[in-house]
Structures are given as C-alpha cells and as structure tokens.
Structure 1
Amino acid sequence: MPFVPTIAVVDDDQAIREAMDDLIKNFGYNSCLFSSAEEFLDFEPRSEIDCMLVDVKMPGLTGTELLAELNRQGDRPPMIFVTSYDDERTRKAALSGGAFAFLRKPVDVGALIACLEAVFDGRPSV
C-alpha cells in the first residue's frame, strides 16, 4: 500500500478549511482540519501529520506563534504558511523560524502543489 501523506490545515476560516480539504484530497493527499493553533496542539497523535498549511492571523495563537511553539517542542512537520496577511516582517519571521514556504491568499494552486511536492520529494523549500 503506497504512502499517502496527511496534511494538516490550520485556519480559523471554515470556508478556507473546506476549500483546502477539497483541494488536498483532489491531489491524492489526506487532510486533517483544525480551526485554531490550540486545536492542533491538542491533537494526538501529531506524528500522523506529514505537512501543515497554516494561516498567520487567527484568534488565540497566531501561525507564527504556533511555529515557535512547535520548534520549542521539537519534531515539527514541514509548515507552509498560506495567508492574506503578507507583510515582509511576518514573512521573514516565518521563514527564519523554519517555515518551508510562505504563500499569499488567494493561493496559487500550482504554487501550493509545487510546495507540497517539494516537501514530499525532499527538495529544498521554494
């Protein structure tokens, strides 16, 4: 049975979560949806998550705060930010914190799929 990666979508916008869920499944991946960073942190077993698509601006912990917390805990899956909040300071913080990529909403589907393929093929971030 071939390996099918599971991608976590962490976004407070239900419509975005549902759209990402459809997109991820259409490209042959599994998905797991979370409405907040805190909900993701409470999820067990997190080891089932192979990659994360994360919004920056969310109530409670932000996406960059989630990244910092997961870095502190260690053993974090690759994280791709997908956000409409795209200022240079946030982008630099995310990428210097170890984010794999930082994409702007509305997301370019081709760019997102290229990022996911790079994650699962072990290629450098794009």
Structure 2
Amino acid sequence: MNDGGLIHIVDDDRAVRDGLGFMLSSLGFTIKTHGSAMELLEGLDGSVVGCILADVRMPGMTGLELLVELDRRKCSLPVIIITAHADVPMAVRALRSGAMDFFEKPVNGMALVDCINEALAHARASAEAAHKKAVINGRIEGLTNREADVARAIMDGKQNKQIAADLGISPKTVEIHRHNLMAKMEATTPADLVRQLVTAGWDQV
C-alpha cells in the first residue's frame, strides 16, 4: 500500500530503473524515471509531493552531489540513496548530506516500500506546513506597521496599557489596532495569534 505522491527513480542503469519502476508501479505508486541527476533536475517540480530514489555512482553528477544541489535549490523532497557500491563512510556522508535513508543493491523491496511511505508522509507534512506558513505570511503582509507593532508587543506578553505607553498612543487606540490585527490574522485568541506568528518565524526575528 502506498501513501500517494510521485516517486522519481534516478539511475544510469536502465535495467535498474525499469526493475524498480515495475515493482513500485505494481504497488500503486506513480513513477517517473530519469537516466541522470541532471535529467531529474531539468524538469523537477519540488512543489509536487513525492520523493527521490537516487543511485550514487552516476556520470555527470553523483547521487551525493545531487543531494548538495537539491539543498542549494532549497528542494525539500526526501531522497533515498540506493547503490551497489556501499560502504560505511559513503552511507555516513549521504545521511549527513540530507539523505533520508541508504539502501544497498539488491534492495529489500518491503523495507524500501516502508521507507518510501515514510518519505511521502514526511513530504506531505512539509508541503502542508509550507502552505500554512504561506497563508499566514499573506495575512501578515496585510497588516499596517502599527498593527505589526502591536502584534510584536502581544508576542512579548504585554498588556494594552503597556503597549500604549511603549508606542506613545492611547489604550483605546491600541484596542482598535488589536481588534483589526486579530481580524486580519483570523485569530480567535491571543494564543492563536502567537502560534501563527511563531509559525511565520517572528520568534526568530
């Protein structure tokens, strides 16, 4: 049983691509094969939920170099490395470079399927989180500068009187900005507002 999504198989060996593709497609996965890392990168849409199965030793760009390039492009698709030439240092390097897991050929089919489903679940969660953050950032962009000031003060746990004193405005004006802020952010409580702002990364500013 699969968890949906698009599986990219990247290997310069056509027999391997066809074999993995047949096995996974027979289990209901949607498959796209690529003969090289560059072929993958040329048409890759990182916004489509999926994962990448990549060989290590490929001409032009190795699987490990692909990991580095995906990171440079800020592509968050999970990568599972599959190779016939595995050793411990290579496995460590792959995992440190961002690979989700590392398999030796011949691959244990059920273990690979379990890993793929885990990767797809991770990719889906990442996509949902990115969408949620984008929605929140869209709301934040609609705030006035003063509403943003009030939002930061609420994050700091300040009450209306203290906010008014800090900003040099009346408590009544703070109440108006606060009301408008909550409406624009579609926040039902101060805690809900803070959760949204933390999701947007305001706690790191």
Asked if TM exceeds 0.5, the reply is yes
Spell out, residue by residue over 1:48-77, the C-alpha distance to the aligned partner (whole angstroms, 9 max, x if none): 351000000001100000000101110230
Spell out, residue by residue over 1:2-55, the C-alpha distance to the aligned partner (whole angstroms, 9 max, x if none): x73110000000000001111111111101110000111111434335100000
Q: More strand per residue: 1 or 2?
A: 1
Structure 1 segments of 4+ aligned residues over 4 angstroms from their partners = none
| Superposition TM-score, scaled by structure 1 size | 0.89
Summarize the alignment of residues 105-120 of structure 1 with structure 2, pairs less than 5 Å apart. Answer: 105-120=105-120
- The one-letter code sitting in structure 1 at the alignment partner of 2:10 is V
Which of structures 1 and 2 has the bigger CA Rg?
2
Q: Gaps spanning 5+ residues in structure 1: where? A: none
Q: Gaps spanning 5+ residues in structure 2: where? A: 123-205
Percent identity between the two aligned chains: 36
- SS of 1:48's equivalent in the other structure is coil
- SS of 1:121's equivalent in the other structure is helix
Quote the residue 2:27 is aligned against.
Answer: 27
Structure 1 residue 53 and structure 2 residue 90: aligned?
no
Summarize the alignment of residues 3-82 of structure 1 with structure 2, pairs less than 5 Å apart. Answer: 4-48=4-48, 50-82=50-82
Cα distance in structure 2, aligned partners of 1:98 and 1:45: 19
Spell out, residue by residue over 1:68-117, the C-alpha distance to the aligned partner (whole angstroms, 9 max, x if none): 01011102300001111101111111101110100000001011011012
Cα distance in structure 2, aligned partners of 1:99 and 1:20: 19
- SS of 1:32's equivalent in the other structure is strand
| Superposition TM-score, scaled by structure 2 size | 0.56
Aligned residues: 120
